[in-house]
Amino acid sequence: MTENSSVELSVEQRKEIFADNFEDIKGRISAAAIKSGRKPEDILFLAATKTIDIQVINYAISKGLPAVGENKVQEFLSKEEQLLSGAQRHFIGHLQSNKAKDIVGKVSLIHSVHSVKLARIIGELSVKKGITSDILLEVNIGKEESKSGFLAEEVLENLKEISKIKGVFVRGLMTIPPICSNSSKNRAYFKEMYNLFLDIRSKKIDNSSMEFLSMGMSDDFEAAIEEGANIVRIGTALFGKRNYTF
Ligand SMILES: *Cc1c(COP(=O)(O)O)cnc(C)c1O
């Protein structure tokens, strides 16, 4: 293999990588939880399963993986029927309004609501189905132009608006901080998110709850937990480097 060639791992190799990493990551999640004064079971270990074969995902679920999340609607649809029951299904990626109909009613949590408009559409679709959709509000904590999500200072006013919408219930916040090589910088973003989360929780907005703070990925999930995350979304550290990227 030349240095730049992409890794192409087989299903069997992926299963082995998962088996090698799963207990280790669970242990690291537990340790970070305890370090921050919480219980290991208070943290939801969600696997980010984009590009990962359904056989590998189902193997992981059969070994006790508690939750899985896709970030593309098309990919979610191509996998959902074959997906083993027993793990929570979340949607973690950017959701376009016109694709919300493919997700509503099929996942237990949508992490990435980035506008009042999207919340309204999810609400309408949910009401038609006679359900309430649990959602998180995505926060663009690094104020990046390339990312969607509410700016920190806009979250409260938008939450007030969204909490009036029938068919959705806001359960917390989610963020993807800027990619940075400096881990202390990421920790500062996590701290800022946690303070925002606490501040909003203290406002006790009707028809919402601040229970979940979804942040932390392969390279920084321990820091995120130590700073207050209770859902971490982990891909590469669990399944190995992805075969192809989007
Ligand atoms: C891919 C992805 C992750 C996981 O990223 P890794 O660095 O592979 O752990 C987390 N959250 C979202 C929204 C993702 O798309």
Give the DSSP letter string of 27-68. Answer: HHHHHHHHHTT--GGGSEEEEE-TT--HHHHHHHHHTT--EE
Q: Which atom of ligand 1 is nearest to the CA of 71?
A: 15
In a domain, 134, yes or no: yes
176 Cβ inside 6 Å of ligand 1: yes
* Domain of 203, in residue numbers: 11-239
Q: Give me ligand 1 centre to Cα 110, in Å.
A: 15
What are the beta bridge partners of residue 134? 169
In a domain, 4, yes or no: no
**pTM (2 decimals)?**
0.95
In a domain, 246, yes or no: no
30 Cβ inside 6 Å of ligand 1: no
CB of 91 closer than 8 Å to CB of 110: yes
Q: Give me ligand 1 centre to Cα 126, in Å.
A: 27
Number of domains in the chain: 1
At 137 the three-state DSSP class reads strand
Amino acid occupying residue 101? K
What is residue 177's predicted lDDT score, i.e. its pLDDT?
94
Query: Residue 90 is part of a domain; what is its CATH number?
Result: 3.20.20.10
Q: Which atom of ligand 1 is nearest to the CA of 233?
A: 10
Q: Which atom of ligand 1 is nearest to the CA of 93?
A: 13
Q: In which band, very low, low, confident or very high, does the pLDDT at 4 lie, cut at 50, 70 and 90?
A: very low
CB count within 10 Å of CB 82 equals: 10
What are the beta bridge partners of residue 136? 172
Tokens of 225: 């937990």
Q: Which atom of ligand 1 is nearest to the CA of 50?
A: 1
Q: In which band, very low, low, confident or very high, does the pLDDT at 235 lie, cut at 50, 70 and 90?
A: very high
In a domain, 34, yes or no: yes
Judged against a pLDDT cut of 50, whether residue 246 lies above it is answered with no
In a domain, 116, yes or no: yes
In a domain, 245, yes or no: no
What is residue 99's predicted lDDT score, i.e. its pLDDT?
98
- Tracing tokens 């060639």 back to the chain, one arrives at 5
What is residue 17's predicted lDDT score, i.e. its pLDDT?
97
Q: Give me ligand 1 centre to Cα 191, in Å.
A: 20
What is residue 241's predicted lDDT score, i.e. its pLDDT?
93
- Tracing tokens 């028809």 back to the chain, one arrives at 207
215 Cβ inside 6 Å of ligand 1: no
Query: What is the arithmetic mean of pLDDT over 5-33?
Result: 92
218 Cβ inside 6 Å of ligand 1: yes
What is residue 181's predicted lDDT score, i.e. its pLDDT?
66
In a domain, 145, yes or no: yes
Q: Give me ligand 1 centre to Cα 217, in Å.
A: 6
111 Cβ inside 6 Å of ligand 1: no
Segment among 57-71, 97-111, 171-185 with least mean pLDDT: 171-185
d(CA 128, CA 125): 5
Residue from 240, 160, 145, 153 nearest 208 by CA: 160
- Tell me the pLDDT tens digit for each residue of 170-194: 999 999 999 876 677 889 999 999 9
65 Cβ inside 6 Å of ligand 1: no
Q: Give me ligand 1 centre to Cα 7, in Å.
A: 18
d(CA 79, CA 59): 14
Judged against a pLDDT cut of 70, whether residue 51 lies above it is answered with yes
At 139 the three-state DSSP class reads strand
d(CA 57, CA 7): 18
In a domain, 157, yes or no: yes
